[in-house]
Chain A
Amino acid sequence: MRNRIIILAITSLLLTACANRVANTGSGMFPDYSDVTIPCNIAPLNFRVAGSGRIDVTVKGLAGEYRFKGHKGLVKFPVKRWHSMLEAEKGGILNVQVNARGVHGSPGLCTSFSWTVMADPIDRYMSYRLIEPAYEVWSGIQIEQRDLTSFSTRLLGDNRNAEKCCMNCHTSNRNGTSFMHLRGAKGGTILNRNGKTVKLNTRTEQTGNTVYGDISADGRYGVFTTADITFAIHSRVDLRMEVYDKRSDLVVVDFDNLTVTDSPATSGSEYQETFPCFSADGRTIFFCRAAHHAQPDSIAQMHYDIAVVQFDPETGRMGDRVITIIPAGDNLSFSHLKASPDGHWLMATAASYGTFPVWHKESELWLIDLQTRKVDILQDINAFGADTYHSWSSNSRWVVFASKRDDLVYGRPYIAFIGPDGTVGKPFLLPQKDPDKYLATLKSFNLPELYAVPEVYNARETAAFYSKVQPEQVQYKQ
């Protein structure tokens, strides 16, 4: 009897404390996967319907009809069935009918929409940085690698075991070369080339710390910004923080010979250069450039154009002449340039001013046709709330970007289709096993990067690199 009372008491306590009301995320589906264009190898687009119980999902395609069920407002597609469905319907359009029964007085949801399944796959791996959107603090940064065909993840970096150092973006050339900057006393650049990982000190007496960068297609060269980055707080609360460069130049690092070079054309105090990237053939470097103004007071006058400088892969040197290909004008500033691997496109982030669009709610992605110099402002992709930091898939058909469109504070990775002729598909949120992950996390998904070859190292090795490995010094080459 006494045991029963104890069990009853514990049960009632558990019920009191664990009653887990479904979060009110508004009506309809979360994430909104209606009418999106998806790659044929993407993980299941699991979704939740707020205020619903049982959900019936019927998917009709050319190859057949597929029925799925969801419970407690959550639809989780079985991974194997999902992939066999996409494989069968590759290149077609799927009509999706969702019938969600309401619970607790909620009306439920009955809706239909389509999924366009492209035959072009997306790169299998994506990395992103998980970070609180605090203004200047990096406590608990993780860099995670996600397998886009499933929900499995792997930690590439975790600063809780690397003395809480700041971990910058993980950048890959999609062919087996990648780098990641670690800041702090024992920091350096972790470079992985074809399975061999080294730690580099890219700072020399003549050139500063390397920051934003890109790797040439063959993996031999990296082009980087060297910048003195600082930040200021906006008094207007909706604008939050402004990050700016007091000065910035470009350098090229030769990973074969461990040398770093600069060029008078992309150095000096008259202009500030940043966000460089290689063209697909590796013979041109695109970058952003603005005439220097005193900052932060004149930061609104910092309008970065898109410029190019030639690059000679044989000598590893930048040319002497800078040409502005897309001028920014008075109300525009470009950043985050990324050339598509097929050489057709250049994608940039456009904001009203400055070089840190992450907190600029007006930031958008723009697509530039490198053959015609025609600019597409991608109305079907952009939304209010800062769409920034994109990355191309190696087949140039997909881009991933970080967007704060959902709540204006927390970035989430969205994936969009770019056709060979520049047509675009409606972007979709990176699917999660449980989409509530986005609602409950206080981390931003920051700096997403697509690549085809998985990383060879993990967070443990990154921490060991941080604390135990002495960096190899890169030498300055005149």
Chain B
Amino acid sequence: MLLLLALLLLLAVRAPYRLEFKEQIGIFMLGADRMEWYLSNPAVISSIAGDWLTQFYSNGRVGAVLSFLLFIAILAGLAEFFRRAEPRRPLCLILLMLPVLLEYYFIPFPNYPVSATVGLVLSIWTACALARIKDSEYSCLIYGLSIPVMFVLAGGHALTLALLLGFMQRKKGAVPVISLVAGLALMMICGRFYNLTFMQTLIWPVCPGYIIPATALLILQPFLVLLTVAVSLTYYRFMENRWKAVMLSTFSALLIPLSDTVSDRNLESVVKIGTLAYHNEWDEVKRMASSTRYKDRNMYSDYYWNLCNARQGKLAEGLLQGGWGRSSDILFLSTGQGDPYFSMIYYTDALLEMGNVSDATDCALLAQTVMPGHYSTRMLRRLAEIAVVTADYDVARKYLNILMRTRNHRKWAAELLDCIEADNIPEQYLKWRAGTLDNDRFYAQGDIKGALSIIASESPYNKTAIDYLLCSYLLDKNINSFRNLYDRYYLDGLDRMVTVPELYEQALLTSVDSRESLMETIGKYHISQKTVDSYMNLLEARAKSANPQTSITTEAMGTYWHYIMAVRFNTSEDRR
């Protein structure tokens, strides 16, 4: 019992945001049209039930409890099955626990659908029910037919049913085996009727290739089998009470994947920071981005650190206080094919802040598209917001009407619909709308600097876009482009009353190559005395030092001079 509680606590404490994310990247809505979709795919019952349950995962802790309850249902089902099937050899029992181990391994994956877990529950309890007729003369026929039926109702976990039924019939000769093989063959034929490949049939409703690679599933399975067998045999050999050995083996094996998945702090941190941004808890996002800089840093914490600063108009001020890296890693996110789906979901936040609504739309549609079910409530909300920003109210109504059919987003959608009908658009959207451009120019898809250059030239008072572009040049050590842009928007474009970030002053000083041009630069850009003094001290220290590299590190730590002179990037991972 204590072990079970430990499992629940682990899920609730270490994985709540990953569980909550399941709700963000799926949808549940009833209606004839949606029912048609469910019916046109296998796993009808488990998909409906799983998607319905997923609604409640909008609170990660509730999600943990629900996942735990499903897990208990799986264990209880197996216990009941064992009671009826009467296994004699503990090794058989352990092998039969394999689906449980796999399930617990996958539950914390944000993209592992709840419907898959429900499918396992259905399969195991069906096996329990069918155990009642194990001695019937028609049992082979019924068992064989139950597999394709279970595939239609619960998807790929029909394999679990086949495994359990095969175990139950293990001593009845060849006929039961043939009937089960025939059942599996029928399941594969069913899969073909649903236009699924062999692999898709085996793991449906998990969609291979979308988020969880199919190869990962195939590699994990034998790995876990070997691990389980090894651990179990050890217990079995050294413990007198064999049933206790079995139980201990099972839970030991459970704890191994737990350490790998449930305790995956990095993934939890990636999901948490994006979820906080989704809930507009920006102070918390900044606090988290700041506190995880040195421990669990990842590109998303750096990205959100800079976004939080940009929202406060202090992108340059905080740029070198966060992670250091190329602009493509910490200011912008890559959203090409093969990039993590988190990037597509999170990137819309910064794009809208920069006033790049075109790319934000592209990104939101892309994120929606790569979801296994092609529906994501989070991206639907974002698409609705973008449609309001661009005043495309017809399509905004379409998205909002879909959200009106959900449990969790109905209120939000109704409020925004009311705003549209009353022409009372929230201020944030009007601010984003003000950033949209009237003139039309082209840029290549994914060319964020090209897009920002256009925004900067068309909308010179969009300081966020200009600062993003300036900072991207600085991070990429492209001083000439930085200086050209600075001249256009800070020196000429903005009045002198604007406080120039110290970072920019530091960068401007690095662009000179002689004492004459240094004085000229100081005069031209009105560089503050403090920055000039610091730079002079650094130059002096370098000149005196036997090891200039060390002097930069000691004298100029945290400045742009340190960044440009001492930091080298070989790969995107080789940062700081």
- A residues near B, CB below 8 A? 16-21, 23-26, 132-137, 139-140, 155, 158, 160-161, 164, 231-242, 296-297, 299, 406-410, 433-434, 436-437, 439-443, 458-460, 463
Contacts and interface: CB of A to CB of B under 8 A. Distances in A.
Given A235-B455, A235-B458, A237-B358, A440 B392 contact: no
Interface string B402-446: 101101001000000100000000000000000011111111110
A299 B197 CA distance: 42
A231 B439 contact: no
Given A235-B451, A436-B31, 13 more contacts: A21-B410, A23-B401, A24-B404, A136-B362, A136-B445, A140-B374, A233-B359, A235-B437, A407-B397, A409-B392, A440-B29, A442-B402, A459-B195
A459 B40 CA distance: 14
A408 B395 contact: yes
Contacts of B404: 21, 23-24
B383 to A, nearest CB: 9
A232 B444 CA distance: 5
Contacts of B265: none
B30 A441 contact: no
Given A20-B29, A240-B361, A407-B395, A232 B195 contact: no
Nearest to A299: B442
Given A155-B195, A232-B445, A139 B395 contact: no
A231 B438 CA distance: 20
Nearest to B53: A17
Contacts of A235: 358, 437, 439-443, 451, 454-455, 458
Contact of A160 (B200, B390, B438, B445): B200
Given A236-B440, A238-B392, A442 B368 contact: yes
Nearest to A467: B197
B417 A463 contact: no
B431 to A, nearest CB: 15
A238 B438 CA distance: 10
Nearest to A432: B33
B415 to A, nearest CB: 13
A460 B195 contact: yes
A231 B445 contact: yes
Contact of B443 (A18, A20, A232, A410): A232
A231 B443 CA distance: 9
Contacts of B195: 155, 158, 160-161, 458-460, 463
Interface string B187-212: 00000100111001000000101100
Contacts of B540: none
B442 A134 contact: no
A187 to B, nearest CB: 16
A242 B441 CA distance: 11
A434 B39 CA distance: 15
10 contacts: A18-B52, A21-B410, A24-B397, A232-B442, A241-B362, A242-B442, A407-B398, A408-B392, A437-B33, A439-B398
A296 B210 CA distance: 33
A62 to B, nearest CB: 34
B296 interface: no
Nearest to A133: B365
Contacts of B149: none
A234 B439 CA distance: 9
Interface string B1-40: 0000000000000000000000000001111111010000
Contacts of A24: 397, 401, 404, 417
A23 B405 contact: yes
Contacts of B572: none
Shortest Cβ-Cβ A-B pairs, 6 listed: A23-B401, A134-B365, A232-B442, A407-B394, A236-B440, A296-B442
Interface in B360-388: 361-362, 365-366, 368-370, 374-375
Contacts of B417: 24
A237 B32 contact: no
B55 interface: yes
B111 to A, nearest CB: 14
A32 to B, nearest CB: 14
A406 B440 contact: no
A366 to B, nearest CB: 25
B362 A233 contact: yes
Contact of A440 (B33, B192, B359, B365): B33
Contacts of A458: 195
B310 interface: no
B357 interface: yes
B436 A17 contact: no
Contact of A234 (B210, B440, B455): B440
